[in-house]
Amino acid sequence: MALPNPDPSSSDIRREQSANPASSRDRIRDAAKALFAERGYEGSSTSEICRRAGTSESQLVKHFTNKQGVLEAIFQDGWEQLNLAVTLAIERMPSPTDKLGIIVDILVTFLQKDPDQRTVFLLEGRRKRGDGHLVVLVPAFLDFVRIVDRIIGQMSDRGELAAGVHPEAMRSALMGALEGLLRDQMLARTSRFPATYTEADYRTIFATFLSAFAARPPP
């Protein structure tokens, strides 16, 4: 009876990896994320992505079609993780304002834990590619937008939203402000951009914004 090889060769490892497409997909995605964060999307090639992932370009084509497909997968997978965390966290919370605050905490924590994801999210998300495609608009991102819209709709239904405030305008203002705060602070770490505020200041600014949109009690 043949005994298992205690020291598998590189060919054995490659065969095992190729037999596990999910692992191959994850390695390509993670290698691309690191490379995009380091060199930018345009400065990264599919050959270098696959070299770092330890796999072939045919595997990239199989899982993602092309480089843009890899970038979209980075966004899709990231937003899916965020959406799941947000949904579980706010499920039993009655206050819409508290729900929005929790979303800020989850988003900031998620991006701080993964610097490569943060860089790609904040610097590559809104850029147009050669065909004018906005890669940030993956389905999971739109799901996140709908979650925020539902919460703001709850504020409106409860009479907590100031008269004349358009819910979608409020959502865009809140998301844009948080994105700008995160991006500028990230740039400050690698350049002389003046952004010396802390995570606590995110929450202060966000709370100030929310109070500006809130309905005023009658005199």
User: Taking CA 74 as the corner, what is the angle to CA 71 and CA 76, rounded to the nearest 5 degrees?
Assistant: 110
The answer, yes or no, to whether residue 154 has pLDDT greater than 90, is: yes
Task: State the Cα–Cα distance between residues 134 and 124, nearest whole angstrom.
Answer: 10
Residue pair 182/203 in contact by the 8 Å Cβ criterion: no
Q: Which domains does the chain show, CATH number per domain?
A: 17-65 (1.10.10.60), 73-213 (1.10.357.10)
State residue 135 phi and psi, 5-degree precision.
-65, -20
pLDDT tens figures, 7-61: 444 444 445 444 454 489 999 999 999 999 999 999 999 999 999 999 999 999 9
Q: Is the dihedral of CA 170, 172, 173, 174 positive or negative?
A: positive
What's this model's pTM, rounded to 2 decimal places?
Answer: 0.84
**Main-chain dihedrals φ then ψ at residue 78, nearest 5 degrees:** -65, -45
Region 192-197 average pLDDT: 92
